[in-house]
Structure 1
Amino acid sequence: MAHPLFFLHGGPGAGSSPLYRRYFNPAKYRIIVFDQRGCGKSTPYGACENNTTHDLISDIKLILSKLSIEKINIYGGSWGSTLALLFAETYPQLVHSLVLRGIFLCRKKDIQWFYQKGANSIYPDYWKEFISGLDTNEQKNILHSFYHKIHSGDMDSSRKYCRQWSIWEGRSSTLKPSSTVVDAFDDCSISLAKIETHFFYNDCFIEENQIIKNIDSIKNIPCHIVHGRYDIVCPFDQAYDLHAAYGTSVIHEIRDAGHSLLEEGIQKNFRNLS
C-alpha cells in the first residue's frame, strides 16, 4: 500500500502546481496536494475572510478524515514548512515524518527582514521597484502600507501593488536570476499578495515564536530540513534555529541555492529524500 504523502505549498496564497507531484514516486506514495484557501483552484479566489492559520490546519485535518488517512508524511516548503510544523504541533499523533524546505518561522524579525530592513541591502535595485509609489511616511512600515493599498477596494491600485509585492519575492527567491520563477510569482500575484499581507499583517495568527516554543511536542517525529545557504527570502538562521531547538532533526545545507524549490541543488536533495 502506498504511503500517504501530504504536500503543502507556500505563500500563503501561492497555490499548488502539477510540478509538485513529479518529485515523488506514485507507486510508493499516495500523493495529496491541495490549494489552500483563496488560491489556486480554491474559491473564492484571493479571499481573506475566514482564512487564518487555524482554518488551514482544520482543512488539513478534514481532508485526512475525508480520505480515511490516519497518519501522513508531510513535505512543505517556505510557508508550507510553517504550516507543516504548526499542524504537527497541533496533531502530532497524525504525523509520521516531516521534510521541510526553506524554513519560515513567522517571527516578527523574519517578516521585518524581508519587508522592511535586511533583504533591501542585498537587492537595492529590486527594492527600489518594490516600494515604488510609497511616500516617505509609508516607507516607515512597508508591510502595513502594502496591506492597506492592496485591500483598499481600488482594483487598479490593488493590482499594481499586488504585482510589486509578488515580483519582489520572485526576484529574491533564486541565487541566480530566473525569469521562470519571477513569471510564476507574477501569475499568482493577486492571491499571493492579498493573502500574504493578510497573514503577515496579523502575525500569521500565531503567537510570537510559537513554533520554537512548542517544539518539544514533535521531537519524536523524524524531520529533515533542506535550506539554501544563500536564501534571501528566509535566511539560513531560521533553519539553524529550528534545527537547534528540534535536537533530533537532520539539516541539509544546500550551498549553491537560495530559496526556490526550482533551484537544482534543492530539487536534487528533495528527490533524494523522497
Structure 2
Amino acid sequence: MPTPDWPPASRCFDLRTPDGHVVHARQCGPDSGEPWLVLHGGPGSGCSPSMAAWFDPLRHRAVLPDQRGASRSRPAGTRRRNTVTALLADLEQLRTTLGIARWGVVGGSWGAALALAYADRFPDAVSALVLRGTFLTGFDDVQALFNARGAGRDLLRGIDGRGEGFPAARGRLLVATEMLQLGTDVQKLNIATQWQRAERRLLRLRPHVGPQTRQQQVALVHKYRIQAHYLYRRAGLGRAALLMAAARIGARGLPVTLLHGLQDNVCQPENALRLSAAIPQARLVWVPGGHLAEGAMAQALGAAIRASAWSVGA
C-alpha cells in the first residue's frame, strides 16, 4: 500500500460550474489508471491529501473534489445554490470533463450518503461503491448527534438546549444555521469553535490547542455553516429515500463494500445493517476502531479498493 508521502505528487485544478461555483479538485495517479472518485464527509470538511494514500499510485487514478462551499472550493462557506442536486451535477460535470466513462466511488460518513445518491441518480457512471461509516441522514442520525442525551449531547450546548428528540435538535440546528450566516463575527466564531470542540470529543480526538490564525478561524466558520445547512434539512435526502436508492442499486448488482467501525459513535452501526439488507450482494466488513479513516479502517479502505478494482472502468 502506498505511503502517505505520495499525495504531494498530485495535480490540483478548478472546475467552474454553469451556476457560478468553482469546485476545487485534486487528481492523483496516471490518467490511464483505474478511475476512483473520493467523496469527503462533513458536510463541509473537504478532501484531505492523505486520502490518496488509500490508492496505488501506479494503478489508480484518484479524483478528490472539495464539494460546493467546502475547503478550497469557492465561494467558500456559501449556502447559495448548495443542494444535493447541485452536488450530484458537479460530480457528473467533473467526470465528463476528465473524460472518465465509469469510476468507482469511495465515500465516508456524509460522503457515503452522497455516494449512494450519486450511484442511484447516475447508474451508468458508477462501477463500484466502497462506503465507510455511512450517515443515512435520518431523524435518528441527526438526533444521535444533537439530542441532549445522545452521543453528541455537548454539541451546540446552550443553543436552544431545552427539550429532547429530533424537534429540539432541529431547533438548535436552525439557530446555529442562522447565526453562522447572519451573526456577528464573534458569534459565528464562538458557535464554530464550540461545535469543533464537541465534535472532537465525539471523535475521541484531543482538543485543539493554541491560537488559530484569522484564516483558520474563517475556514472553521465556513465548514460548520455548510454542515448546519445540510443537517438541518437532512441534506434533502432522509433515511427512507437513501434506503430506497440502495435497494435500486442492489437490484442492479453493483459491487458494494460496506465498512463500519465497531466503536463508531458518530454513525450508527445499524446503518450498515440496514444497507446490507437493502443491498444483498454487498460485502459488510466490521472494522476495529471508531469513525475516522485511520489505522485499521484506512487499511480496510485500501483493501476494499484493490478488491473492487476488477470492475472499475469495465
Q: TM-score range by the shorter chain?
A: 0.7 to 0.9
Please tell me whether residue 131 in structure 1 is matched to residue 131 in structure 2.
Answer: no
Q: Indicate conservation of the 8 Å contact 2:107/2:131, yes or no.
A: yes
* TM-score relative to the length of structure 1: 0.88
* Residues 112 and 195 of structure 1: CA distance in aligned 2, closer, same or farther (over 3 Å): same
* Residues 251 and 178 of structure 1: CA distance in aligned 2, closer, same or farther (over 3 Å): farther
1:87, CA displacement in angstroms? 0.1
- Deviations along 1:171-214, one digit per CA (max 9) or x if unpaired, are 2124xx4458xx9xx87532221001101112212255211022
Q: Which residue in 1 is equivalent to 2:11?
A: none
Q: Indicate conservation of the 8 Å contact 2:255/2:281, yes or no.
A: yes
Q: Helix, strand or coil for the counterpart of 2:41?
A: coil
Of 185, 188, 192, 1:162 maps to 192
Please tell me whether residue 224 in structure 1 is matched to residue 257 in structure 2.
Answer: yes
Please tell me whether residue 84 in structure 1 is matched to residue 115 in structure 2.
Answer: yes
* Amino acid of the structure 2 residue aligned with 1:60: L
The answer to which structure, 1 or 2, has the higher relative contact order (CA under 8 A, 6+ apart) is 1
Q: Indicate conservation of the 8 Å contact 1:35/1:41, yes or no.
A: yes
Q: Helix, strand or coil for the counterpart of 2:37?
A: strand
* Residues 103 and 208 of structure 1: CA distance in aligned 2, closer, same or farther (over 3 Å): closer
1:133, CA displacement in angstroms? 3.6
Q: Which residue in 1 is equivalent to 2:182?
A: 152
Q: Which residue in 1 is equivalent to 2:267?
A: 234
Matches within 5 A, 1:131-210: 131-134=156-159, 136-137=161-162, 140=168, 141-174=171-204, 177-178=205-206, 188-207=219-238, 209-210=240-241
1:222, CA displacement in angstroms? 0.3
Q: Indicate conservation of the 8 Å contact 1:226/1:251, yes or no.
A: yes
* Percent of aligned positions that are identical: 27
160-169 or 89-98, which deviates more: 160-169
Query: What runs of 5+ residues in structure 2 fail to find an aligned partner?
Result: 1-31, 306-314
- Deviations along 1:101-124, one digit per CA (max 9) or x if unpaired, are 01111111111111124534xx66
Of 84, 102, 120, 1:71 maps to 102
* Amino acid of the structure 1 residue aligned with 2:242: I
Q: Helix, strand or coil for the counterpart of 1:11?
A: coil
* Residues 253 and 44 of structure 1: CA distance in aligned 2, closer, same or farther (over 3 Å): same
Q: Which residue in 2 is equivalent to 1:253?
A: 286
Query: What runs of 5+ residues in structure 1 fail to find an aligned partner?
Result: none
Q: Which residue in 2 is equivalent to 1:59?
A: 90
1:151, CA displacement in angstroms? 2.2
1-structure distance, mates of 2:141, 2:160: 24
* Amino acid of the structure 2 residue aligned with 1:257: G
1-structure distance, mates of 2:101, 2:160: 52
Q: Indicate conservation of the 8 Å contact 1:106/1:209, yes or no.
A: no
Q: Helix, strand or coil for the counterpart of 1:5?
A: strand
Of 27, 52, 60, 1:29 maps to 60
RMSD over equivalenced CA pairs, Å: 2.2
Q: Helix, strand or coil for the counterpart of 1:33?
A: strand
Give the number of the structure whose residues are more often helix, by fraction.
Answer: 1
* TM-score relative to the length of structure 2: 0.77
* Amino acid of the structure 1 residue aligned with 2:172: I
Q: Helix, strand or coil for the counterpart of 2:53?
A: helix
